[in-house]
Homo-oligomer: A and B are copies of this chain.
Amino acid sequence: MGEFGLIRHLTEDIKTQQASTHKGVGDDCAVISANNSETLVTTDLLLEGIHFDLTYVPLKHLGYKAASVNISDIYAMNGTPTQMVVSLGISKRFSVEDMEQLYDGIKLACRNHGVDIVGGDTTSSLTGLTISITCIGMADKEDIVYRSGAKDTDLVCVSGDLGAAYMGLQLLEREKAVFNQQGNKDKEVQAQPDFQGKEYLLERQLKPEARGDIIKKLKEAGVKPTAMIDVSDGLSSELLHICHESHCGCSVYEERIPIDYQTGIQAEQFGISAVTCALNGGEDYELLFTVSLKDYEKISQIEGVHIIGRIQKEELGALLVTRDGAEYPLQAQGWQHL
C-alpha cells in the first residue's frame, strides 16, 4: 500500500458533520465556509532525513521552502494565502541561532506572499528536526478551483519548467557522496563543490517559489482554470490526481513538457532522461491546471504558461505521447511505505 492508498484507506469512512465543511480530505486544501468568503486549510509535515538533509540544506532555505510548499497549496485552489501556524520539533544539537535562521526563512516566504504567522507549537525532539506547517487561505466561493473540474477537450497547462528541482537534488546528493568519500582522505585537499552554471538547479531544489504570480496573471487574463493542482510529487502523479478526481483521461505530449536547458544538460551528464525527471522528479511547485478550449487565445498569451496536452474521455486513459507518437500510460509516484 503506497502513500495515496494509505491516506485513502485511513480517511475513506470520514463523514463530515459541520455545515461549514465544504470540502474535506482529497484536494490541495480543505474548504471551510465562512459566510461570503471560504477558508482554505492545508498542512505539510517535513521530517529530517525524509524531506530534507541538513548536510547540504541551509536552515534558512529550509524554512523558506517549508513555508512555500504550503503557500503553493493555497494557490493551487486559486486562493490567497493569509495565515500560517508553524510547529517545530527541535533536537539538542540545534542552537537558538539555528532556529532563528529556520524561522527567518519561514518569515521571508510569508512576507513575500503577505501571510501572517499566527501560532504554532515548539517542542524538543529526541531525533531529527521536525517541521509541521498549516497554512490558511481565503477565496470567494465561485473562484475556488478543485482537482475535479477538468472536462473533455480542456487544455492541460503547466507553469514554469519541470524536473530542475530533482536535478538539483541529484547534484547535491552527488556532492555529498564525494564529500563523504573524501572525508577519509587528507582534509587539506578537499575540493569545494563546483556548482558554477548549475545555480538554477540548486535554487529550484533549495528555494522553490510558490506561483502566486501565475494566479494573478490568470485572474488578469480573465481565465479561471477548470481544475488545478501544484506539482509536488511530479507531473505524472498530479495529472493522475486530476484525471481521477475529474473522471477523465488526458494526453500529454513529451515535446511540449517545459524543461530548462540546464536540466537537460545535467540529465544528459547523469545519463538519465530529462522527461523522466519532469514526470516523476517532483518538488517543482509549479501549477498544473486545465482550462476550457475557449480560453486558448488568452492562455497562449500568458508568459510562463505552457500548454502541454489535452483532457480526454476517461476510457482513453491518461497517456504520455512521445516524440515518435508512441503512447504510454502515466505512472503514479508518492512514497511507498507499507
Cβ–Cβ contact A124 & B18, under 8 A:
no
- Rounded to whole angstroms, the CA-CA distance of A157 and B198 in the bound complex is 62
A1-27 vs B, CB cutoff 8 Å, 1 = contact: the mask equals: 101001101110110111011011110
Segment from A131-139, A161-169, A258-266 that makes contact with B: A131-139
* Copy count, this protein chain: 2
Cβ–Cβ contact B39 & A39, under 8 A:
yes
Interface status of A175 (Cβ within 8 A of chain B)? no
Cβ–Cβ contact A17 & B119, under 8 A:
no
Residues of chain B lying within 8 A (CB to CB) of residue A51: 123
Cβ–Cβ contact A6 & B116, under 8 A:
no
Interface status of A30 (Cβ within 8 A of chain B)? yes
Q: Tell which of B88, B119, B126 touches A50, judged by Cβ atoms closer than 8 Å.
A: B126
Cβ–Cβ contact B138 & A9, under 8 A:
no
Interface status of A34 (Cβ within 8 A of chain B)? yes
Q: How far, in Å, is A276 (CB) from chain B's closest CB?
A: 22
Segment from A95-103, A246-254, A292-300, A323-331 that makes contact with B: A95-103
Cβ–Cβ contact A32 & B123, under 8 A:
no
Residues of A within 8 A of B (CB): 1, 3, 6-7, 9-11, 13-14, 16-18, 20-21, 23-26, 29-30, 32, 34-37, 39, 41-45, 47-51, 82-83, 85, 87-90, 92, 95-96, 99-100, 103, 107, 111, 114-128, 130, 132, 134, 136, 138, 335, 337-338
